[in-house]
Amino acid sequence: MKLWGGRFQKETDGLVNDFNSSIQFDQRLYREDIQGSMAHAAMLGQCGIISQEDAAAIQAGLEGILADIEAGKVEFTADNEDIHMNVEALLTQRIGDAGKRLHTARSRNDQVAVDLRLYLRREIGEIIQAILDFQQALAEKAKAHQKTVMPGYTHLQRAQPISFAQHLLAYCQMLARDVTRLEDCGRRMNQCPLGSGALAGTTYPIDRWQTAKALGFDAPMSNSLDGVSDRDYALELLSALSILMTHLSRLAEETILWCSWEFKFIELDDAYSTGSSIMPQKKNPDVAELVRGKTGRVYGDLMGLLTAMKGLALAYNKDMQEDKEPVFDAIDTVKMCLPVFTGMIETMRVLPENMRAAAGRGFINATDCADYLTKKGMPFRDAYTAVGKLVYYCTEHHKVLEELSLEELQTVSPLFEEDVYDALNLENCMEQRRSYGGPAVAETTRQIQEIESFIQEHKE
Ligand code: ARG
């Protein structure tokens, strides 16, 4: 008979049994479920709601179940619907009546909410550590390429000179925000729903502060209805993971471009590339493509849960059982993407000469040319127009700015002098961009130090 079978005259339909049960996926919450039950039982004992002997028997029984699950000795069953009822049924099988007292002053509604929060809190910690490793890999590559000039792009058109370090360090910043976003989400999540009961709290003299503290929460949730209805924490996490994946996906896209023959800025390591079954020459960036592809999947997880939640009257509705698979899927996906992407970055070969060659075409020093005239007294807008004319002249004559003679340059302004060639030199153009946050070596050094202390502060 079902745990809740008292009121029923008939067995559950077989299909319904499978349809209704969540044990296939919520068994991964077994540790948190047991942890929550232990805190609950200890509190019931201390508040005199159950005897200390029963509390102790429950404690010992749960420890045994935990050990057996971890040893692979426990078979869960869909007949017991979910992880909560599976554990409770096992406990009662093992310790008898004391097991039947565990669910006093509790509901699966607050139980599942506490389990999921505990689980996500731990996963957030692990994901943050994986992000830090990724940042470290980017910072290492950046250190090696502070002087590697590459074209910076807007509209995927060559725009102005930057260094490869500057480009990678931009991602370090995005990832630092991902870390703090996850921390923030973890902080807000860290309130305890246990004791909300089914929805309306309980008549027993429970101590919610005790269980909250025992489980490492900052406080019990303030409203029992909210305690069991809220899934903001899962949505926030999915949003934070979606944004993280956006960042990974943008770098994945760039990696794919960079290792194409059209760019050839980098060469991926063989261990991080795949071949074609028909084209012998192929070396494909499948890892980056999969990261980009899996981003859509994480967005789907977020959209799925947002949609599931949007029409639910308070408090618990079974729809909310649909919260687990998307969060698990998003977490699994992110946890796979991060380390494999880290390895791909660590092992990729950077080809500075190709970056430099690309930087040499596309007039990425045109702004510098206009700035040269401006610094000699011409209003910037006039300088802009003059250089625009030079660029047009160059395209007609298949030249770049630094290939023009002084006479050619002077056709648009007499202010051009011999020192213009220094001003147009790409290495100088990059190095002169010393404004805070710019690509000059001093600035990328500052950024690297900043990101390394961020990593230090957060590393466990
Ligand atoms: N398996 C359920 C879930 O994941 C647990 C809560 C069930 N509560 C209920 N009243 N049916 O949402």
Q: What is the DSSP letter of 218?
A: S
Q: What is the pLDDT of residue 293?
A: 98
Q: What would the pLDDT profile of 3-43 be if each residue is shown by its tens digit?
A: 778 888 888 888 999 999 999 999 999 999 999 999 999 99
Q: From 67, 104, 158, 126, select the one nearest 356 (Cα to Cα).
A: 158
Residue 1 has pLDDT above 80, yes or no: no
Q: What would the pLDDT profile of 293-335 be if each residue is shown by its tens digit?
A: 999 999 999 999 999 999 999 999 999 999 999 999 999 999 9
Q: How many CA atoms lie within 13 A of 376 on its CB side?
A: 15
Q: What is the pLDDT of residue 278?
A: 81
Residue 456 has pLDDT above 80, yes or no: yes
How far apart, in whole angstroms, are the C-alpha atoms of residue 158 and residue 265?
14
- Cβ of 241 closer than 6 Å to ligand 1, yes or no, is no
CA 26 to ligand 1: nearest atom: 4
Report residue 307: phi and psi, to 5°: -70, -40
How far apart, in whole angstroms, are the C-alpha atoms of residue 372 and residue 432?
12
Q: What would the pLDDT profile of 40-81 be if each residue is shown by its tens digit?
A: 999 999 999 999 999 999 999 999 999 999 999 999 999 999
Residue 452 has pLDDT above 80, yes or no: yes
Q: What is the pLDDT of residue 9?
A: 87
CA 81 to ligand 1: nearest atom: 1
CA 320 to ligand 1: nearest atom: 12
Q: From 164, 173, 55, select the one nearest 104 (Cα to Cα).
A: 55
CA 22 to ligand 1: nearest atom: 1
User: What are the tokens at 16?
Assistant: 């319904």
- Cβ of 189 closer than 6 Å to ligand 1, yes or no, is no
- Cβ of 109 closer than 6 Å to ligand 1, yes or no, is yes
- Higher-confidence position of 285 and 6: 285
Clarify whether 276 is annotated catalytic.
yes
Q: Quick one: three-class SS letters along 168-213?
A: HHHHHHHHHHHHHHHHHHHHHHCEECCCCCCCCCCCCCCCHHHHHH
Q: Is residue 157 exposed (0-12), middle (13-18) or buried (19+ Cβ within 10 Å)?
A: exposed
The bridge status of strand 157-163 relative to strand 191-192 is unpaired
Residue 124 has pLDDT above 90, yes or no: yes
Annotated active-site residue in 51, 260, 276, 453: 276
Q: Report how far ligand 1's centroid is from the alpha carbon of 21 (Å).
A: 9
- Cβ of 108 closer than 6 Å to ligand 1, yes or no, is yes
- Cβ of 22 closer than 6 Å to ligand 1, yes or no, is yes
Task: For residue 221, name the pLDDT band (cuts at 50, 70, 90).
Answer: very high
- Cβ of 62 closer than 6 Å to ligand 1, yes or no, is no
Question: Do the Cβ atoms of 164 and 150 come closer than 8 Å?
Answer: yes
How far apart, in whole angstroms, are the C-alpha atoms of residue 51 and residue 41?
10
How far apart, in whole angstroms, are the C-alpha atoms of residue 209 and residue 169?
44
pTM of the predicted structure, to 2 decimals = 0.95
Task: For residue 2, name the pLDDT band (cuts at 50, 70, 90).
Answer: confident
- Dump the DSSP string for 400-425: -GGGS-HHHHHTT-TT--TTHHHHH-
- Cβ of 92 closer than 6 Å to ligand 1, yes or no, is no
Q: Report how far ligand 1's centroid is from the alpha carbon of 319 (Å).
A: 9
Q: What would the pLDDT profile of 178-188 be if each residue is shown by its tens digit?
A: 999 999 999 99
Q: Report how far ligand 1's centroid is from the alpha carbon of 210 (Å).
A: 24
Q: What is the pLDDT of residue 283?
A: 85
Q: What would the pLDDT profile of 229-255 be if each residue is shown by its tens digit?
A: 999 999 999 999 999 999 999 999 999
Q: What is the pLDDT of residue 116?
A: 98
The bridge status of strand 157-163 relative to strand 266-267 is unpaired
Measure the CA angle with vertex 23, ends 22 and 29; round to 5°: 105
Clarify whether 51 is annotated catalytic.
no
User: What are the tokens at 342?
Assistant: 């880290």
Question: Do the Cβ atoms of 318 and 19 come closer than 8 Å?
Answer: no
How far apart, in whole angstroms, are the C-alpha atoms of residue 198 and residue 278?
60
Stretch 201-205: mean pLDDT: 98
Mean pLDDT of the chain, nearest integer: 96
